[in-house]
Structure 1
Amino acid sequence: MSVCFYYKPLFLYLFCIALIIPRTSSSNRDVVVLLRVKNNGLQDPNGQLNDWQQSAPNAPCNWTGIGCDNKTNDVVSIEMASFGLSGYFPADFCRIQTLRVLDLSDNLLNGTVLPEALTVCSHLQFLNLSSNLFVGELPELQTQLVNLTTFDLSLNNFTGEIPASYGSHFPNLQVLRLLSNFINGSIPEFLSNLTELTRLEIADNNFGPSPLPANIGRLTKLENLWFPSSNIIGSIPESIGNLVSLKTLDLSDNSLTGKIPESIGGLIAAEKIELYSNQLSGEIPDTFSNLTSLHFFDASQNNLAGKIPETLTGLALKSLNLNDNNLEDEIPSNLALNQNLYQLKLFNNRLSGNLPVKLGMNSGLEEFDVSGNFLEGPLPPNLCFNKTLDRLILFNNSFSGPIPESYGDCSSLTYVRIFDNELSGNVPSSLWSLPGLTMFELRDNKLEGTIPGTVSKARNLTALLISGNRFSGQLPEGICDLVQLQNMDISSNRFSGELPWCITKLNKLLEFDVQENAFTGVIPSTVAGWTDLTGLNLSGNQFFGTIPPELGSLPDLTYLDLSGNLLSGEIPLDLSKLKLSKFNLSNNRLQGRVPSAFDNEIFVSSLIGNPDLCSPDLKPLPSCSKRRAVSLILVGILSSLSAILLVSFLWLLIKSKKLNVFGGRGKKSWKMTAFQRFWFNEDDIVAFLSQDNLIAAGGSGQVYRVILKNGQIVAVKRLWDAKRGPESEEVFQSEVETLGRIRHACIVKLLFSCSGDNFRILVYEYMENGSLGDVLHGEKGGVLLDWPRRFKIAIGAAQGLAYLHHDCVPGIVHRDVKSNNILLDEEFRPKVADFGLAKTLHKNMDEGGQLMSQVAGSYGYIAPEYAYTLKITEKSDVYSFGVVLLELITGKRPIDPSFGENKDIVKWVTEVALSSAEQPVANGSVSISDSADYLDQLIDPRMNPSTSDLEEIKLLLNVALKCISSLPMNRPSMRRVTELLKDNSRARSK
């Protein structure tokens, strides 16, 4: 300032004065604009803008969300992301001519964005409206937005095609993000005109089948090309190699065909290339030598063939995923020199030869999966050299020799599957006792030796599967310390001695199989703790003594095989309490009369080989001597009574016009199949299919509640007449074929089926409390379901679906998962039901799913990709299950008027969750914040959750949001869902 006062000319004096006087006029204008928008257009329920007061010091530059130029005090930025604001797009903010940045992302703004609004905002450099509720077509551009460098409309509800003006009116645009909307049409070629772009992200929309722009290579400044799940067809254009600045290329989960172009070697800046889940074929080009920055390469789930190129494996990759292709020949040895590799997934190919011996020595491998190939030779000893290996998966190969001793020192291991190889020798003693192990599967090898007592240290083990080997010796008592164990299969080995009595302490066991060994001693009677056990197989051993009656008290036991032992005594009457799908006591030394519950032809094969068992009528078992005399006296009486009863029954049927219910034909035309043990026949059922017993009706038929003569209650589904179309027969066959081979505690049991030309009935176990939908939304009004009970229902239903997807061979997709198809027994334990739409998952699904002729399912539950591609995968069921979880939390139906126009439960919950999300993710999923204020808007008001319940509800909501992700690839598997829910349950118990 001293320089100014040194000179005296008037004009210079005035100029200096102007420099020191604040420019208040422009600030005042900005204050007026900002307050007008706040008071007239925006709703601020969280009070984020409370400090917007005209009288505040240095207004508006000290206001929340406002940024000013340090020299001029002009407003240059308005940043109000995640403020919880609602209302229409506040275009009047753009009346501030000095404004350069406008960020309104992650709010609840709605309505349309008019072309005129963008014209008003033409001086902006940065405009972010992502993660809001905007609707309508993408706004046209009426003038060139020469200043705009970032334009983000992602995660909204915009529709229509990408306007042609976007290709000509953004001359300096660097970031264009339109992902996760409902944009349709094709991916336009004119996007290649935006030559200043560094990020182009338009994935997860409703595009029709369209190719990548042929001239995409013109975008030489592009750093991120993000097009997953964009319905792209055709081949990858050769011009892709011109993207010399590209760091991330994601074309995953599309329908690309043809070869990976040789020009891909021109992506010299690439760090990540994602090409998985397409239909690419041919060989992988050997042109990667210049991609020195590439760390992630995933071309899995394609039809690629030929060798793995050495120029690819010679890079400093962190992750290489080439699984589920047709690749062959040996794994290049230079892969072992990589110092960065932590994930290698090459499973389900045709690879052969030996694994590189130094694999793992130079890098911290964490996940290694080469299962399902033709690999042979010894296992590399250095896979866990850096003590980081977590998952070791080698099954279905021809590896031979011993398991390296070094694997026993791999304390980081949690998941080991090495089954179906030719491994021999002893398992390293310390490998049995790794404390982090959860899965240990060595079955079907030639391994030998004993299980050491130190196995007790593997306290997190949930599955011990070592069948089909040559293990011997006694089971150590240390195995009783594996308190998390759920599945134990040590069958077809050479174990001997007695079972440790403490084995019954493993109260989480679901399946216990020791068949085909040389065990002896008596069967432990202290089995009351096996409350979750569904399968027990002790066959083919040398157990003696009597069958413990306590087995009859196990509530979920459906599979019991004690055949081929030395058991004696009578069959305990307590076993009659079990609802068994498989039952075998054959080839023992049992004696006495067969209990009436098993005195049925369907159990003959389960009882033979016991010379001293007798039955009054069951052949070839000998007749019981006490029964013979009585039966001779009563045979005439019973014959007469039978004739009288038969004539009377036929007369009643004719009288009530029910004789024609089977199409007017005799029983010889009926096809009857029994799937479970029961005490009734078709005549006992038909007489009760009346209106008085009708409890439900749906698209496939009617359901009746029938009380049998012995007091048992069953549910009978009578399918609609086949004359209504082929769907009736398809539904019937699907239910019979699916449920006929399923045995699981969380899936409803099919007892009996009967069909004629125009008549089909299915008889199920009766579920006392109806469906989950009835309880939540029907007359019972949800009052019977507190939160702990709802949470248990969620876990049980998840277990049932996980069984269908992962444990059935082939897997099964339900296709109609909904609350009405989850039934509840008298203790509100859930069972998945109604398999009329179920389909098996074929192993070869080259196009990302099985193509259906039409959409099937229930409105509000159908996954979005199924609705417009007609392709089903198990992820379709995962989406539907996510909707069920939302029903359990909210108590609302999937479609409810309270959500607002054109909204379902998914959209409504997502909007509420987004309002408190820590960060919206580009794929449409949401991470929930620690604040639970928003839960009040979601939780069923009929519940009164405790503090611990609220934490559990929040965790369950996070699982639900993962399930309803708009991208199928981002949904967890049902097995993972089950793990997440159980983790929540364990966290609660702690």
Structure 2
Amino acid sequence: MDISNNEISGEIPSTLGNCSNLTAINLSMNNLTGVIPQELGSLAELGSLILFKNNLVGPLPPHLSNCTKMDKFDVGSNLLNGSIPSSLRSWTGLSTLILSDNSFTGGVPPFLSEFEKLSELQLGGNFLGGAIPSSIGALVSMFYALNLSNNALTGPIPSELGKLTRLQRLDLSHNNLIGTLKALDYMNSLIEVDVSDNNFTGAVPETLMNLLDSSPLSFLGNPFLCVNYPPSCGSTCARRSNSFKPCNSQSSKHRGLSKVAIAFVSLGSSLFVVFVLYVLVYMFLLREKTKQELEISAQEGPSALLNKVLEATANLNGQYIIGKGAHGTVYKASLAPDKDYAVKKLLFAGHEGTRLSMVREIQTLGTIRHRNLVKLEDFWLRRDHGLILYRYMQNGSLHDVLHEIKPPPTLEWSVRYRIALGTAYGLEYLHYDCDPPIVHRDVKPMNILLDADMEPHIADFGIAKLLDQSSASTASTAVVGTTGYIAPENAFRPAKSVESDVYSYGVVLLELITRKKALDPSFVEQTDIVGWVRSVWSNTEEIDQIVDSSLKEEFLDSSIMDQVVDVLMVAFRCTDKDPRKRPTMRDVVKQLLDANPQVRSIKG
């Protein structure tokens, strides 16, 4: 049974467990909610269960262990939680296990080594902690991929991992792993490796040097990794040295030192140690003073309000999840009637010094007040994660209203125009009235929240900069933003200019007009909404061919149609390929007001 990619909503019916002859189920890429029904465990013939990219919640039902013929199990990109149940060890013939991008906790289960036929294991993007079990080296049949990235794994890479000599793709990035990469020296079949953003030390193994040259970003974020440069190395070494120091840089400096030189070095070292101790004492006293000045320190617990929120969500239990995105997981907490909060859990790998600057950054964000910006109510930071508290918005996100709610709610043009104008006001405030200006870097409908009156409130402003500060690597070059909303000039680099926000805002305008997604399945030849709208308009110049069909009835009033066309022109200017030709957000506000002279300014 395959009904994937059909925008099906609702829960998976438990009666599906009565279809005893089913051997394969594919419900991926829909909008399914609720839990995975335990009744699926009755399907004794089931060999393939594909549920990735939905909104499923809760733990994996242990009853699935009854499906002993399971060959491929994929529940990636959902909202599942809990630990990985040991009852699944009955899947002795399993070849593919994909649990990535959920909220699974606990550790990497040692029993996975019993899956002798496993060729692909994807556990990235969860909350798994502890060490990588040495038993994982028993998976000698694994050849396609092993992904443990974006978790909270600690300790060294077990030497047994080197037994996976057939493995082609390995991703250990964004963890807290330590030690050397020596175990990887035996994995001669690797064609892709990512060990970035850990705490690895020592030399990059010789077998990985070609991968280092072709993909250096996959090794960054490990400040104590080094490279052994052979004497004959030329331009290749020059490229490597931009990011990685030579392993022999220290030893070469001390060859041939005389006894006198050694004596001076020893004396200098002693003085240096005294100096360092003095500096450390001074920094300790300064840090203690700084902590007292901060409203919330790295050591204090949650505030009274956050404690109530944690209690209301049973310590952020998965059943309270209402969303999950690139910046973290969002939970809803109801403290009293008409007193709902949204709490976002951010994951980051920070250091004490950077965490103090992060506190100051969040405190600054907390002082920002504008009717079209989500107000930060409270926050709490720890070493590897943070909690940020907002008031809950009754109508969810603009993305939900435009694309997810079924049947689609009616959205009159006046409401869409008010959302467009309010969002523009919010961005104008960030760009012009904040010092220094705040670049959002991820403007999209999912980050535009709607209150009970459908008034827009921009969320996640300043979060991208905050996560920059939390990175353990100052050399990080990850692209910030969401595909479909990223300006062309930022396709391969972080978006840090106000012009990039203007482009993303233009995409939001096109979604408001067309009610199509930025990367809508109806677009042919892998185009996006900007390319599609420009193509249709250049060929027809008929707004009827572009606009959401539910708006056409309003076109009986010609002034409404004129407004839509005017706003479309604003969107075209915002999404110009040349950032120098895009209007500022202040210009955008003026142009939107000109499109509807009767509207009163709603600027906060």
TM-score (norm 2): 0.48
- Of the two structures, which has the highest relative contact order with CA contacts closer than 8 Å and spacing of 6 or more? 2
Q: From the CA coordinates, give the structure whose radius of gyration is larger.
A: 1
TM-score (norm 1): 0.31
Structure having the higher helix fraction is: 2
